[in-house]
Amino acid sequence: MLRVNFLQGFDGLVGIDFGADSIKVVELEDDGQKLRLKKCGLASLTGDCIVDGSVMNMAQAQEELHNLLERVGLLGRKAAFGVSGHNTIVKTISLPPMSQEEFDSSIMLEAAGHIPYDIEEVYVDVQIINPNVEGQLDVLLCAAKRDVVNEYAAIVRKAGAEPRVVDVNGFAMHNLFERLYGFPQSGAVALIDLGASMTSIVIVRNGVVEFSRDIMLGGMLLTEQIQEKQKLDFQKARDYQVALPSLNPETITKQVSQLTHRVVSVLVTEIQRSLEFFNVTSVVRQKVSKVYITGGASETIGLIKELQERLEIPVERLDCFKGVEIDANRFGMNGIEFALVKPTLAVAMGLALRRG
């Protein structure tokens, strides 16, 4: 049975992250004190297989996932997958104080007024943010379109795994950060996943998600511009974008600095707007004090520097394997290759951490 529950967890799952340019899978072993990476893998997607979180080519997604699960040795396993983009709605709503019984009987009606779809067309989950505060009830509302969730579930099932849990990608980042870093007792932090075509922002205060937004911009925009302007193939353009050590730094700077600055500036502006919106609309008017970034595009040269200058707060790369026992050689990758793959695995890691 597929459990659609965005705000709780379950045990022993394989995390499957469907991205615009690749599918990632992760299996973890947890002894209660230390995490160990048991299995992981990545399969590239071509063309417009997945666009803005929606599947355009089910046959390709299913085939690539099946081949990946078979290669890594995860066929037949129970899995958690994520959804994102326009297919999800995450927002905080305020309700008058009420008993738990009143809340349970009225929340779906209240939720319907905040969702731009028929309530029968979405899966809905809720969580009370401030149960002990008098005067109002702040509720985190999460919804995902049924047809999209069911489509991804069908892909996972036909590819040879058993879909058990669906999550919102932003909450997967929350799961990962909570386990590896732990949230501060006060203050708000922003977790940002910069993917190929989408940037997901989650803002967490006191361990609770209070804001989530997906921006339809990602690292692919810069890669394609470098590829076009410099007449390079896609992989070479990607190498220049993240400044591989094997490339001449002077050449990299000369060829991509202007393109990088222009694209990064657009992306940073959207991130800045999101954080400013949270800062002025937060329930307790508490500003974001630190930003953690991950995702393949987080390695783009100059990104952290521009983020810190524009946001005027610390920005740090989220190490999605902080304290995790790992042997990259087991997965057929050298140190440089695994270093490039690591940031892309954050969502899959968070999905694999789902537990009861």
**How far is residue 271's CA from residue 134's CA, in Å, rounded to a whole number?**
33
d(CA 64, CA 45): 8
**Token code pair at residue 345:** 């695995």
**What are the tens digits of pLDDT across the range 165-223?**
999 999 999 999 999 999 887 789 999 999 989 999 999 988 888 889 999 999 888 88
* Mean pLDDT over the full length of the chain: 86
Highest mean pLDDT among 65-69, 220-224, 262-266: 65-69
Helix (H, G, I), strand (E, B) or coil at 291: strand
Tokens of 58: 């089910």
Domains plus CATH for the chain?
1-90+144-181+320-356 (3.30.420.40), 183-317 (3.30.420.40)
Per-residue pLDDT tens digits for 277-328? 998 887 666 789 999 999 988 988 788 999 999 999 999 999 999 999 887 6
- pTM score of the predicted model: 0.88
**Which residues is 205 bridged to in the sheet?**
188, 208
pLDDT at residue 338 is higher than 80: no
3-state secondary structure of 290: strand
pLDDT confidence of residue 308 = 95
Residue 118 has pLDDT above 70, yes or no: yes
CA–CA distance, 24 with 349 (Å, rounded to integer): 9
The CA dihedral of 278, 282, 285, 291, to the nearest 10 degrees, is -40
Residue whose C-alpha is closest to residue 22's, from 287, 348, 301, 242: 348
What stretches of 129-250 adopt beta strand conformation (E)? 137-145, 162-168, 188-194, 199-205, 208-215
Q: What are phi and psi of 170, to 5 degrees?
A: -60, -35
Residue-wise pLDDT for 3-62, tens only, equals 555 555 546 799 999 999 999 999 999 877 789 999 999 999 987 899 988 999 999 999
d(CA 259, CA 202): 27
Is pLDDT of 356 > 60? no
- Give the separation between CA 278 and CA 282, rounded to whole angstroms: 5
Beta-strand ranges (E) seen in the chain are: 3-4, 14-18, 22-30, 35-44, 50-51, 54-55, 78-83, 88-95, 122-128, 137-145, 162-168, 188-194, 199-205, 208-215, 288-294, 315-317
CA 70 to centroid of chain Cα atoms: 24
- The pair phi, psi for residue 92, each rounded to 5°, is -100, 130
Tokens of 107: 């929340």
Q: What is the pLDDT of residue 322?
A: 92
Cα Rg of the chain, angstroms: 20
Q: Using alpha carbons, select from 209, 173, 208 the residue that is nearest to residue 292.
A: 173
**Cβ neighbours, 10 Å, residue 283:** 14
- Say what the pLDDT of residue 1 is: 37
Q: How many CB atoms lie within 10 A of CB 201?
A: 24
CA diameter of the chain: 65
Which of 122-131, 150-159, 225-234 tops mean pLDDT? Answer: 150-159
Is residue 218 within 8 A of residue 300, CB to CB? The reply is: no
Which range, of 51-60, 124-133, 142-151, averages the lowest pLDDT? 124-133
* Cα gap 221→232, rounded to integer Å: 15
Q: What is residue 228's predicted lDDT score, i.e. its pLDDT? A: 82
